[in-house]
Amino acid sequence: MINRLFNVSLQTKITGLLLGVIISVIFILSIFFAYSTVEQILSNKYRLSMQTARTVSLLPSVSESLQEGDGRASLQFLTDQFSMENDADFIIIQDKEGRVLTHPNEEYLGRVQAFGDGFKARVFGGYYNMESDEFLAPSIVGIAPILSETGSVLGVTTVGYLKKDIASLIYERIRFILYLSVAVIIIGIVLGYLLARHIRKETFGYEPREIAALYSRQDTLLSSLNEGVVAADEHDKITLINTSAKDLLEVNDSYIHRPIYELLPPLEYSWVYETKDEKLNQEIYLNNKSLFVNLVPMFTQGEFTGLVATIKDRTEITEMINTLSEVKKYSDDLRAQNHEHSNKMHLISGMLQLGNYNQVLELIDREMNHIQKNNRSIFNQIEDTNVQAILIGKMGRASEKKVDFMIDEGSYLSPLPPHIEVAELITIIGNLVDNALEAVISVPHPLVSFSTIDIGNDIIIEVSDNGIGMKEEEQETIFQPGYSTKGDRSKKRGFGLYNVKAAVNKLNGIIEIDSSRQGATITVYIPK
Amino acid sequence: MKKYVGLLLILTLVFIAGCSSESSGSEADFPEGDIEFVAPATPGGGWDATARAMQKILGDAGIIEENINVSNKPGGGGEVGWQYLLGQDAHTISINSSLLVANNLLGQSELTYEDFTPLGILSTEWVSVAVPPDSPYETGAEVMEALKEDPTSLTIGVGPSLGNSDHLSFVQAAQEFGVDVSQVEFLVYESGGDVLTALLGGHVDVATMSVSESKEQHLAGEINMIAVSSEERIEGLEEVSTWQEQGVDMVFPHWRGVMGPPDMSEEEIAYWDEAIGEMVETEAWQEVMNNNEWEPFYHNSQESQEFLAEQTERFDELMTEAGLIE
C-alpha cells in the first residue's frame, strides 16, 4: 500500500512534497496568526470596553446627574461622544432601579431593564468584562458601577462592542492571511512543477527508479566487459573506471575525479577535446602490456560532455597468436615425424628387396635403441603428459632439422600442479627449445639438450645448446617484445622470449641465462 | 536502543542536577535572618492585631528564634501589602482575608490566592445584623421578608466597602430568602464605626457588621442584634439566633489567614506549618481569640489551599446573577 503510494512519477513526488511542506507550514502559521489576531482583537475590545466603562462611571457629571435625577440629555450627549471616540457600539447608563438613561436607540430610553449581567456591578460595585446579549445584540461588554462619594452604588454603565462587527473585523484580517496563503500555495505548485520538469529534463524523462535500473545495468555491463573502459567529463576529469580497466592499468578507484592524463600516458586527449572527433587504435605500452586505446567523444543531446577511452589488451591477442603458431608448429612437427618414418620405411623396403636382411636388422635395432633411450626418459621419468607431448613433438622437429635433441637421463617430473596451465607450459618449453634449435642451426654437430627436475620447492627446466652464445647486451634485450636476431622487427616476430618471460612472471618464477662461447643455457625456476 | 539509554541518562542527570541545585540551597537552615509579617492595613484593625499577636506569641514561646518585624502596608483593600509580598522570599508572610478573593472578582485587583502560597487560616469572626431598638423587626428573617416584599423599603448600612464579608453575608442571606438584591439600597460608610453611628442616628434601617463591632452596643441595649452568621450561637450572645436557626442555610465566616510569596519550597512551607500549628495551640493564642471576639479557625497550608478554592467558587456564584437561580 505504502509502496503503491510512493510508486508515482517524480513530478508527483516533488510537487506533493513541496505542497505538503508549504501547506503544513502555511496551515500552522495561519492558525497561529489567525489565533493571535482573534486574541488581539478580542483582548483589545475587552480592554477598551472596560476602560471606557470605568472612565464614564468615574465622570463627576455622571454621578451628579444620577444623584440629582436629571440631565439625561447631557448624559446622552456625553455617552454619544465617548461612543464616537472609542468606536463603542453602545454605552448604556442605568440608574440604581435599572432605568435606561442613555441608549443609542431612543425608544429604549426610560425603560426599566432588570440587572442581569449588571448584577455584580449593581450589588457589589464590581468592575468586569463579559459576553452579554442583554442589550441590542450579542456583544463584548465592560461593566462598571457608578458610585457615590462614599461608595454606594448609584447606577451601572455598560459599554459594548457588537460581536458581529468584531467577527467581520476578524474575518477581514483572516481573509487577508487566506489570500496570502493561497498565493504562496500557488507559487509552491508552480515551483514544484518547474523543479520536477527541470529534473526530468536532466534525466531524459527517466524516473529515478528507471535511472537506478539503467545504472545497475550499465554497471553490470561495464564490469562484465573484457575491455577496459575509462570515461572522463568535459573537464577531463575521470568519472568512471571499470573493473577490466582497473586490472589492465593496475589502479583502483582513487583515480576518479583526477585528470585522465594522470592515469593514461599522453594520448591525444586535447585533440579529441578540440575536434570532438574520435581517435582509434592508439598503441601504448604500459606495465609490460601492450595496449590499444580508442578515444571516443561523448555527446549528450548534441552537447559534448566528455570522452570514453576503451582499452584493449594486445598482450592477449599476441598470446593467442603465439599459441596458435605453437599448435601449427606441432602439426608441422608431426608431419616431419611422419616424413622421417616413411623415409625409413622406404629404406627398409628397398633393403628387403635387395635381400640385405642383416642391414635391415641393424637399422631396426639402431632405431629401436634410439627410440627406447629417448622414450624411456620421456615416458618413465617425465610423468606429466603435456610435457611428454611437447617433447615428442620437439624431437620430431629436431630430427627433421638434423639437430641432436637429447633429453637428460636424470630428468624427473611428476604431474604438474593445476595452477600451471598447458598454454604457459607450451609457451615456456616450446619457445626455449625452438630458440635453442634456431641457435645451433649453423654450427657443426648441433646439439640441444633438455632436462627437468622437480625435486625441492621448484620445478626446474633447463634448455642448453652448443651455439655461439649471447653477448651481454643481448641478454638484457632478448626478453623485450619485438626483439629478434632475425632481420627487421616489422614482421611481428621476436615475441617468443618476451612471452616466455611473461609466462614465467605470471607463475612467479625466475629465468637465468648462462652464456659462453660454447653455447647458452637458459634455466627456468617455477615454484610449485 | 543504546542511543536512547544515553539520552535518558543525560536527561536524568540534568533533572537530578536541576533538582539538587534547587534543594542544595540553604533551606536546611531556613530561616536565616529576620522574619517579616506584613499587615496590609493601618495599625488598629483586625489585620494589624493578628500580625502583632503572632509576632508576640511566636517570639515569646520561642517557636521562632529569629527577629520578627511587623510592617504595615495599607492601601487598596490589601493590594499594596500583597503586591509587596509578591517580590519577597519565604522570610516574609502576610495576613489575608476574604478580601483577597473578593477584590479580584470585583475587578479591583489582578491578584488571586493562586499568586501566593497559602500557609494557613487562623481565625474567624462572625457577622451580625443589627437594627435600632425601636425597629419593628425582631429577627433577621423578618427583615428579609420585608425586603422580599419591597426591596427598596429599607436601607442597609455597610462599611468600609461593598464586597466585604459583612456585605456578602447579608446579600447571601437575602438571596436565600428570595429577595431581589439588585434593588436593595446599601449605604456605604467609611468604617464599621461609621456604620454603627449611622444606625444609632437612624440614618439606616439595618446594619451589617462584625460581631466585635456590634457586641458592646447590643449588650448596652443601644442596638438590637437580630442574626449572626455563625454555626452555633455565640458565647455571651446566647439570645441572638443564627441564620441557620432562622431558616437560612448559611454559615459565613469572616476569616483571616496568612500566606507567603509564590513558589515556596516544600521545606519552607513545612517550616511555617509547624510554627503556626504550634502557635495556635498556645494559651496565649486562645487569649488573643477571646479578647478580640475571634474564634479559632485553624487550617494548615494544604487545607487553606482547598478552602480558598472553595471560597472563590462560592463568592463567584454569589456575585453573578446565576446565584439567584436555584
Q: Min CA distance, B100 vs chain A (Å)? A: 14
CB B71 within 8 A of CB B39: yes
pLDDT at site A308: 87
Residues 6+ apart with CB under 8 A from A246: A228, A252, A253
pLDDT at site A255: 82
Residue B163 to residues B41, B96, B216, B237: CA-CA distances in angstroms?
Answer: 17, 15, 25, 26
pLDDT at site B114: 95
| Strand, helix or coil for residue B191 | coil
pLDDT at site B171: 94
Contact (CB<8Å) B162/A97 = no
| Single-letter amino acid code for the residue at B254 | H
For B10-54, write each residue's pLDDT tens digit: 555 555 555 444 444 444 578 888 999 999 999 888 899 999 999
For B108-150, write each residue's pLDDT tens digit: 999 999 999 999 999 999 999 999 999 999 999 999 999 999 9
Higher per-residue confidence, B314 vs A202 = B314
Contact (CB<8Å) B163/A96 = no
Angle between the N-to-C axes of helices B165-177 and B301-319, in degrees from 0 to 180, rounded to the nearest 10: 60
Contact (CB<8Å) A153/B186 = yes
Q: Indicate the residue of A123, A128, A152 with minimum beta-carbon distance to B171.
A: A123
Q: Min CA distance, A100 vs chain B (Å)? A: 15
Model confidence at B297: pLDDT above 90: yes
Cis link prior to A415 (omega < 30° from 0)?
Answer: no
Its sign, for the CA torsion A319, A322, A328, A329, is negative
Residues of B in contact with A96 (CB under 8 A): 183, 185
Nearest to A149 by CA among B161, B74, B170, B45: B161
Angle between the N-to-C axes of helices B266-279 and B46-60, in degrees from 0 to 180, rounded to the nearest 10: 90
Contact (CB<8Å) A124/B171 = yes
Nearest to A322 by CA among A493, A511, A509: A493
Residue of chain A minimizing CA distance to B187:
A152
Contact (CB<8Å) A151/B188 = yes
Model confidence at B6: pLDDT above 60: no
Contact (CB<8Å) B106/A126 = yes
pLDDT at site B190: 87
Contact (CB<8Å) A120/B319 = yes
Q: Which three cell numbers stand for residue B237?
A: 450572645
How many CA atoms lie within 13 Å of A43's alpha carbon, on the beta-carbon side? 6
Q: Which three cell numbers stand for residue A235?
A: 573537464
Contact (CB<8Å) A114/B182 = yes
pLDDT at site A176: 85
**Regions of chain A short of the pLDDT cut 70:** 1-7, 266, 318-319, 322, 480-496
Residues of A in contact with B181 (CB under 8 A): 119, 123
Give Cα B323 distance to the centre of its chain: 21
Residue of chain A minimizing CA distance to B105:
A126
Residue of chain B minimizing CA distance to A96:
B183
Model confidence at B323: pLDDT above 50: no
Q: What is the mean pLDDT of chain B?
A: 88
Q: Min CA distance, A121 vs chain B (Å)? A: 8
The Cα A456–Cα A380 span in angstroms is 20
Contact (CB<8Å) A119/B182 = yes
Residues of A in contact with B190 (CB under 8 A): 150
The Cα A49–Cα A80 span in angstroms is 14
Give Cα A323 distance to the centre of its chain: 40
Q: Which residues of A touch B (CB under 8 A)?
A: 50, 96-98, 114-120, 122-128, 148, 150-153
The Cα A397–Cα A438 span in angstroms is 11
Contact (CB<8Å) A123/B185 = no
For A274-286, write each residue's pLDDT tens digit: 777 787 777 777 7
Q: Please report the DSSP string for A175-209 in residue order.
A: HHHHHHHHHHHHHHHHHHHHHHHHHHHHTTT--HH
Residue of chain A minimizing CA distance to B157:
A152
The end-to-end CA distance of chain A, in Å, is 61
Q: Which three cell numbers stand for residue B67?
A: 527577629
Q: Min CA distance, A225 vs chain B (Å)? A: 45
Contact (CB<8Å) A123/B161 = no
Residue B88 to residues B5, B116, B263: CA-CA distances in angstroms?
Answer: 41, 11, 11
Residues 6+ apart with CB under 8 A from B275: B58, B63, B64
CB A295 within 8 A of CB A307: yes
Q: Indicate the residue of B102, B105, B189 with minimum beta-carbon distance to A150.
A: B189
pLDDT at site B243: 95
Contact (CB<8Å) A116/B108 = no
The Cα A93–Cα A96 span in angstroms is 10
The Cα B122–Cα B273 span in angstroms is 11
Contact (CB<8Å) B188/A122 = no
Residues of A in contact with B160 (CB under 8 A): 151
The Cα A426–Cα A434 span in angstroms is 11
Other C-beta atoms closer than 10 Å to the C-beta of A214 total: 13
Model confidence at B83: pLDDT above 70: yes
Give Cα B30 distance to the centre of its chain: 28
Contact (CB<8Å) A97/B183 = yes
Q: Which residues of B touch A (CB under 8 A)?
A: 102, 105-108, 160-163, 167-168, 171, 181-190, 319-321, 324
pLDDT at site A491: 37
CB B158 within 8 A of CB B169: no
Residues 6+ apart with CB under 8 A from A344: A363, A367
Q: Please report the DSSP string for A489-506 in residue order.
A: GGGS---HHHHHHHHHHH
For A163-189, write each residue's pLDDT tens digit: 998 888 888 888 888 888 888 888 888
Q: Which three cell numbers stand for residue B40?
A: 496590609
pLDDT at site B23: 44
pLDDT at site A378: 76
